[in-house]
A and B are shown apart, each in its own frame.
Chain A
Amino acid sequence: LVTVGPERSTQVIVKALALGADKAVLLKSEETNSDPGSISRAIANELKSHEFDVLLFGKKGVDDDNQQVGQMVSELLDIPCVTQIVKLDISDGRAVAQREVEGGAIVVETSLPASFTAEKDLTIPRYASLRELVAARKKPIVVKTVQLQPPSLEVISVQNPPPRSPGKIVGKGVEAVPALIRLLHEEAKVI
């Protein structure tokens, strides 16, 4: 398990260890650099000294929603990467994954080592038992301080999205339907 983040990331690392990981590496950086390129280079640099068959990523972070790191790390390591997968089978040194796309899924077969980014349906995260949580605290976390490459993507402002005010209640039940159609046609002009 590898992650980039500040000291306090150890809290989430322990949770992940409780879910089944055996050891963890925290690439410690206190900078607020969220450029996926900088993050990916730090992760790829670390992974170069590890041997692996499969690299798993989430498809995106739940903060910046960039959806870039999995692909970037894989390109830097020169390994195939299949994104947004909902199914993964591995046998005889090859992997077959289904990646969710518009209107269906594409079945992709790849050689290993390879990386995959997970769509929501890939697995159901289980709950860690108390015993697993306690055991996780004894698993090794290697902390390495890293210097991230200066960001090329810079956040210059954070705004609230424009508010959406409540519209009108057209009416109750079936009787409201003709009025709704008229409003959609004449006022909103969407039909």
Chain B
Amino acid sequence: LTGEVLVFAESSAGTFRKSAYEAITEGRRLADLLKVDEYALAIGTGLREKTNELGKYGANKVLLADDPSLELFNADYFRQIALDVARRTSPSIILAAATSTGKDLAPRLAVHLNTALASECTHLDFDSGQLVATRPAYAGKVLLKVKVKSKPSIATLRPNVFTAKEASPQRTPAVEVVEFKKANSRMVAKEFVTHGSKKLDLTEASVIISGGRGMGGPQNYRILEELAEVMGGVVGASRASVDAGWRPHSDQVGQTGRTVSPTLYIACGISGAIQHRVGMINSKVIVAINKDPEAPIFGFADYGVIGDVFEVVPALTREMKEFYGKN
């Protein structure tokens, strides 16, 4: 079988990312439509024992580059490995999650394989054998349908939009080890530095508790951290609070920050300006807590509570703690 679907399965510290399973699941769907095999490309360290995980989500085969030097993303190494695999196989489609790594890597492959790439897709389809992707543009203000007219057609998938689902049947994928030459790097990925204790990124979180100007100052984000901890979520911020220096830019949700699509987004003291809205409008459920009943956010939140965040949020934390204790 040729024309397989090749999916880059991103990992972090020896574990595949959730967005990798989402991409493998979508890749399986496309492979079934095309009646071809799905190959997963795993690059990282400590992944040898984990390849069966990719079979669970549908991969027929895993191409594995596993080496301690691949722990952090190094574009020179990853590009070299992915290109080698893409050229040795004959994929009709290449998928990756639209993470910092996927978004860095995919254009490099596209240009070397003389093909095109649809970025940050939210839906994939075919039209007369060509890949048609739906993707947001103008920071989410419009949805574009784009056709990739060249092969292999490459697409990156926005995290949290596609659902990771175990395949039926599950497979025990064959593993093919990919060699690479370490000397061919002009760059060194030296270290990973964290902004704090936060492990999960906003783009991957299923619960986000976001704070805006209504939080009044950096010290008050503690109440959001507490709610996030109870709910297993992550704290985000509006542009106003980032510009005020209360939170780092990496926490910013919106046009010039992260675009998120969690299951539950709780906006605390956020007015809901357009530039914030475009970053979180694709959340499954939006809750707004704001003392201003006229705040634009109530115009698109699913549930609104009119009230002071300093009263409502601690009460929510207490009752959520009780709720999770029972459920």
Binding site for B on A (CB under 8 A): 35-37, 40, 62-69, 71-72, 75-76, 79-84, 86, 96, 98-111, 114, 119-121, 151-161, 164-174, 176-178, 180-181, 183-185, 188, 190-191
Q: A173 and B304 in contact (CB under 8 A), knowing A63-B137, A83-B104, A190-B285?
A: no
With a cutoff of 8 Å between Cβ atoms, the chain B residues found around residue A120 in the complex are: 249, 252, 256-257
B72 within 8 A of partner (CB): yes
Most buried by B among A104, A114, A156: A104
CA distance A105 to B198 in the complex (A): 12
B174 within 8 A of partner (CB): no
Q: A173 and B308 in contact (CB under 8 A), knowing A75-B112, A156-B147, A190-B263?
A: yes
B244 within 8 A of partner (CB): no
B111 within 8 A of partner (CB): yes
Q: A154 and B147 in contact (CB under 8 A), knowing A102-B201, A180-B316, A188-B285?
A: yes
A156 touches B201 (CB 8 A): no
CA distance A119 to B305 in the complex (A): 34
CA distance A3 to B250 in the complex (A): 28
CA distance A9 to B81 in the complex (A): 39
Q: List 20 A-B contacts (CB under 8 A).
A: A36-B116, A63-B137, A67-B103, A67-B119, A71-B108, A72-B110, A83-B103, A98-B193, A105-B192, A105-B195, A151-B149, A164-B300, A167-B286, A169-B304, A173-B308, A173-B312, A180-B316, A181-B323, A188-B303, A191-B327
Binding site for A on B (CB under 8 A): 12, 72-76, 79, 99-101, 103-104, 106-108, 110-112, 115-120, 132, 135-150, 186-195, 198-201, 203-204, 231, 249-250, 252, 256-257, 263-264, 281, 284-287, 293, 298-308, 311-312, 315-316, 319-320, 323, 327
CA distance A173 to B305 in the complex (A): 7
Please give 4 more A-B residue pairs, beta carbons under 8 A apart, in addition to A166-B299, A180-B303, A190-B285: A62-B138, A103-B198, A110-B188, A188-B302
Give the distance to chain B from A127, nearest Cβ to Cβ, in Å: 16
B148 touches A65 (CB 8 A): no
Q: A185 and B323 in contact (CB under 8 A), knowing A63-B138, A75-B111?
A: yes
With a cutoff of 8 Å between Cβ atoms, the chain B residues found around residue A71 in the complex are: 75, 104, 107-108, 111
CA distance A108 to B76 in the complex (A): 12
Give the distance to chain B from A112, nearest Cβ to Cβ, in Å: 9
B200 touches A103 (CB 8 A): yes
From B200, B304, B323, A168 is in contact (CB under 8 Å) with B304
B187 touches A82 (CB 8 A): yes
A72 touches B108 (CB 8 A): yes
Number of A-B contacts (CB under 8 A): 251
Give the distance to chain A from B104, nearest Cβ to Cβ, in Å: 5
CA distance A157 to B125 in the complex (A): 14
B303 touches A183 (CB 8 A): yes
Give the distance to chain B from A169, nearest Cβ to Cβ, in Å: 5
B302 touches A104 (CB 8 A): no
CA distance A68 to B281 in the complex (A): 24
B315 touches A160 (CB 8 A): no
With a cutoff of 8 Å between Cβ atoms, the chain B residues found around residue A36 in the complex are: 107, 116-117
From A69, A75, A83, A160, B143 is in contact (CB under 8 Å) with A160
Residue of A nearest to B305 (CB): A176
CA distance A142 to B178 in the complex (A): 47
